[in-house]
């Protein structure tokens, strides 16, 4: 599997961000959702694109990265692939149940301590103020690189493209990563009421099927990465 294909798959994986989904749903239920989502999106772009460009060009200029590209990359692919398969195995066999139960007990204890009322995370509470400027800041803070994002940047670096195509790939990755926000934003201009209902239904579907989707995604991506590593070693 080529690095370009892996960049695309990793951008889709980075797109499924529970925090982003919660933020989009909350913004759609507030006044002026279009202004809030636009502010959040601009903040997310500012962080993800600028940080991505800095990282990928720093990798391109790194002699260590250049020297290890051929020798360490296949081994690293196999290790990452095995970790993804391990995640799929743990989720598929329900071996993470004790961890989930401890998390549920801690959540219940917090609810009881607060008199039965849940407390949203600070960024989501800030979004509840309904200010596009606050939404911009929240977008900045919640869009720092994650694992899928950083892995995608490393594969963009391995393509050895010129500066302009590399920058365009980073921007494209960031655009795909924010599809959960971009699609509702565009849709809201066309059909505001239907969009809010669709987002709520998608969130409900994700709560029912998100675990199975994560298992399949981790297993497929892990297998492909391992195959790529083995081919690279051969």
- Report phi then psi at 43, rounded to 5: -65, -40
Nearest one of 156, 137, 148 to 57, comparing CA atoms = 156
Chain segment 125-158, per-residue pLDDT in tens: 677 667 888 889 888 888 877 778 888 888 898 8
pLDDT tens readout for residues 6-64: 888 888 878 877 677 778 877 877 777 888 899 999 999 999 999 999 999 887 766 44
- Model-level pTM? 0.64
- Report the pLDDT averaged over residues 184-198: 83
One-character DSSP codes across the chain: --HHHHHHHHHHHHH--HHHHHHHHHHHTSSSHHHHHHHHHHHHHHHHHHHHHHHHHHHHH-HHHHHHHHHHHHHHHHHHHHHHHHHHHHHHTTTTHHHHHHHHHHHHHHHHHTTT-----HHHHHHTT--HHHHHHHHHHTTS--HHHHHHHHHHHHT---HHHHHHHHHHHHHHHTHHHHHHHHHHHH-HHHHHHHHHHHHHHHHHHHHHHHHHHHHHHHHHHHHHHHHHH-
If you average pLDDT over every residue of the chain, what do you get? 80
Give the tens place of pLDDT for each residue, 97-107. Answer: 888 788 778 77
Looking at residue 72, what is its pLDDT? 44
DSSP letters for 155-179: HHHHT---HHHHHHHHHHHHHHHTH
pLDDT bin (cut points 50, 70, 90) of residue 182 is: very high
Which one has a higher pLDDT value, 93 or 6? 93
**pLDDT value of position 125:** 67
Residue boundaries of the structural domains of the chain: 3-233
Residues 26 and 181 sit within 8 Å (Cβ to Cβ): no
Predicted pLDDT of residue 114: 62
Query: What integer pLDDT is reported at residue 62 of this predicted model?
Result: 62
In this prediction, residue 178 carries a pLDDT of 92
Mean pLDDT across the stretch 57-83? Answer: 65
Question: In this structure, what token pair is assigned to residue 7?
Answer: 């960049």
**What is residue 89's predicted lDDT score, i.e. its pLDDT?**
92
pLDDT at res. 121: 59
């Amino acid at each position: 599997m080529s690095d370009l294909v892996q960049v695309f798959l990793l951008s889709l994986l980075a797109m499924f961000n529970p925090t982003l989904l919660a933020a989009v749903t909350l913004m759609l239920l507030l006044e002026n959702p279009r202004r809030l989502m636009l502010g959040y999106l601009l903040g997310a772009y500012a962080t993800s694109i600028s940080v991505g460009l800095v990282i990928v060009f720093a990798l391109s200029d790194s002699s260590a990265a250049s020297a290890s590209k051929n020798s360490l990359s296949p081994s690293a692919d196999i290790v990452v692939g095995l970790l993804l398969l391990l995640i799929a195995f743990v989720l598929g066999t329900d071996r993470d149940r004790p961890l989930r139960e401890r998390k549920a007990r801690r959540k219940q204890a917090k609810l009881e301590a607060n008199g039965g009322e849940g407390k949203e995370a600070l960024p989501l509470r800030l979004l509840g103020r309904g200010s596009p400027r606050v939404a911009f800041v929240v977008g900045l803070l919640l869009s720092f690189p994650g694992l899928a994002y950083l892995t995608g940047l490393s594969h963009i670096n391995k393509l050895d493209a010129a500066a302009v195509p590399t920058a365009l790939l980073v921007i494209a990755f960031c655009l795909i990563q924010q599809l959960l926000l971009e699609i509702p934003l565009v849709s809201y201009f066309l059909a505001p009421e239907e969009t809010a209902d669709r987002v709520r239904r998608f969130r409900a579907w994700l709560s029912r099927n998100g675990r199975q989707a994560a298992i399949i995604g981790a297993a497929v991506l892990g297998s492909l990465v391992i195959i790529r590593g083995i081919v690279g070693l051969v």
